[in-house]
Amino acid sequence: MSNKLTIGMFGFGVVGQGLYDIIKTKNLNLEIKKFVIKNADKKRSLPAELFSTDAEAILDDPEINTVVELIDDAEAAYRLTVRALKSGKNVVSANKKMIAGHLEELVDIQHEYGTSLLYEGAVCGSIPIIRNLEEYYDNELLHSVSGIFNGSSNYILSKVFNENQLYADALKKAQELGFAETDPTLDVGGYDPKFKVCIVASHAYGIYVKPDDVFNIGIDKLGQQDIRFAKEKNFKIKLIPTAKEIDGNKVVLYVLPRLVGKESILYNVENENNGVLVKAAFADEQFFYGKGAGGHPTGSAVLSDIAALRYGYRYEYKKHLESSALNYSQDYLIKVYLRYTDDQLIEKLNFSEITERYYAADFKYVIGHINLQQIAAHKADLDREGNFIAEIA
C-alpha cells in the first residue's frame, strides 16, 4: 500500500535534526540513507558514513528515490531540485524563495518527468495551507487568502505593540531567538511573505506570478508616531500579504503593513505565530493558525510531505486546469494611511481621494484611496526613512 522511501537529505540543521529524531521513533517505511552537508568539519550526532559533502552521493544514487532539500541557498536548492526531479526522484523542499521564483518551470518538470515536488514547509511552517488549498478548496471560489505569513516581523510587531519595546530592540531579540536572519530584510521588508503569497496564489487561483512582479513593503520604517496613531484608534499594525480576486477575472497580490482592528481574527495572532485567513464563497471565512517557523513546526510539515510521498501524493494544481482564466493585476484601489515628510511625495502619488490630512511639527499623514499601481511605481520613495505606509482594511 505504501512505497518504501529511501531518502537523501540536503542540509542537516535544526529542521533536519528534528526530522531525523522523529523519523527514528516511528515505523514509517522509510530510511534516510545520506545527508549531504556543506561543512565536513562540523561535529555531527550521527555516524560519519551517513554524511557527505558531495551532492552526487545523493543525486547519483539510484536507490535514493526521495530528496529532502533543506538548504538556505535558493539557487543551489533550485539546481538540486531540478536535477532530482529530472532523474526520477521526488522532492520535498521548504525553500519558499526557490519555489516562488521557479514555480511554473518546476510544475512543468513534474508533469514531464512524472515526479512530485511537495513544499508545505515553505509556506507558514506547520500550517497545512497548501494541502488544504489543493485538496479541500479545489472547487471553491476563493475571495481572498491573506494573513500573517512571517513569524519574525510578527514577533517584532508584538513586542512593539504589547510591550512598548523599540523596533530596534525587538528586532535584535528576534535575531537572538533565531526568528530573524542576520540580514533581516527578507523578513521585515516583506520579501519572505511575498514568496509565500506567490506560492499560495498558484494553488488558490491557478496563476503563476513572479515575486519580482509583486509589490512588497515592510515594517522596517515603522516609527513611534505610527504606533501612537494605531493605538489611539485601537488598531494593531500587522504585516499582511494578500491574494485577492477582483472583478471576477483578476487577482491582485501585494504585501503591505495593515492597520488591523479588534474585529479581525488576525488581531490576536501574536509573536512568531502565523495565521492564514481564507475567504471563500461557500465555506465562508476560514482561519488556520499555528507556529510559522522553527525547526519542529517546519519539520512537521516536511514530515507530512514525506509521509504523503509514500502514497504517491502529488499536487494536481487543479486550479490551473480550470477554464476560467484569471489574470494577475495591480489595478486595484486600496485605502492607506501614509506618514510622510516631503509634501511632494503626496503630489507624486496621485491619490484618487484623500479623506484625512494631518500636519504637526514632527508628524504628517494622509489617509486616502490610491491605486496599487501608484504605490508600486513609487516603492523607492515610500521605502525611504521618514515615510511609512499601511493599508486600512
Catalytic residues: 196
- Check residue 73 for interaction with its own copies (CB under 8 A): no
Site for its own copies in 87-126 (CB under 8 A): 126
Count of alpha carbons within 13 angstroms of residue 49, beta-carbon side: 1
Query: Could you tell me the smallest distance in angstroms from the CB atom of residue 316 to its own copies?
Result: 8
- Check residue 288 for interaction with its own copies (CB under 8 A): yes
Comparing CB distances to its own copies, the nearer of 198 and 301 is: 301
Cα angle for residues 331, 103, 6 (degrees, 5° grid): 155
- Check residue 271 for interaction with its own copies (CB under 8 A): no
Residue 157 near residue 226 (C-beta atoms within 8 A): no
- Check residue 131 for interaction with its own copies (CB under 8 A): yes
Sole binder of its own copies in the list 176, 282, 347, 385 (CB under 8 A) = 282
- Check residue 181 for interaction with its own copies (CB under 8 A): no
Comparing CB distances to its own copies, the nearer of 150 and 304 is: 304
Cα gap 31→105, rounded to integer Å: 29
- Check residue 139 for interaction with its own copies (CB under 8 A): yes
Site for its own copies in 335-364 (CB under 8 A): none
- Check residue 149 for interaction with its own copies (CB under 8 A): no
- Check residue 18 for interaction with its own copies (CB under 8 A): yes
Sole binder of its own copies in the list 22, 55, 74, 82 (CB under 8 A) = 22
Query: Could you tell me the smallest distance in angstroms from the CB atom of residue 126 to its own copies?
Result: 4
Comparing CB distances to its own copies, the nearer of 43 and 262 is: 262
Other CB atoms within 10 Å distance of the CB of residue 173 = 15
- Check residue 289 for interaction with its own copies (CB under 8 A): yes
Cα gap 231→262, rounded to integer Å: 11
- Find the part of the chain contacting its own copies (CB under 8 A) among 44-52, 79-87, 135-143, 364-372: 135-143
- Check residue 304 for interaction with its own copies (CB under 8 A): yes
Question: What single letter denotes the amino acid at residue 128?
Answer: P
Sole binder of its own copies in the list 28, 50, 107, 346 (CB under 8 A) = 28
- Check residue 137 for interaction with its own copies (CB under 8 A): yes
- Check residue 31 for interaction with its own copies (CB under 8 A): no
Sole binder of its own copies in the list 64, 199, 217, 303 (CB under 8 A) = 303
Query: Could you tell me the smallest distance in angstroms from the CB atom of residue 142 to its own copies?
Result: 11
Query: Could you tell me the smallest distance in angstroms from the CB atom of residue 291 to its own copies?
Result: 5
How far is CA 230 from each of CA 116, 271, 392, rounded to the nearest angstrom?
45, 18, 11
Q: From the CA atom positions of the chain, what is the Rg in Å?
A: 22
- Find the part of the chain contacting its own copies (CB under 8 A) among 86-94, 97-105, 137-145, 215-223: 137-145
Sole binder of its own copies in the list 31, 265, 350, 352 (CB under 8 A) = 265
The grid coordinates of residue 39 equal: 561543512
Query: Could you tell me the smallest distance in angstroms from the CB atom of residue 135 to its own copies?
Result: 7
Interacting residues toward its own copies by CB under 8 A: 18, 22, 26-28, 126-128, 131-132, 135-140, 265, 268, 280-291, 294, 296-297, 299-301, 303-304, 307-308, 322-323
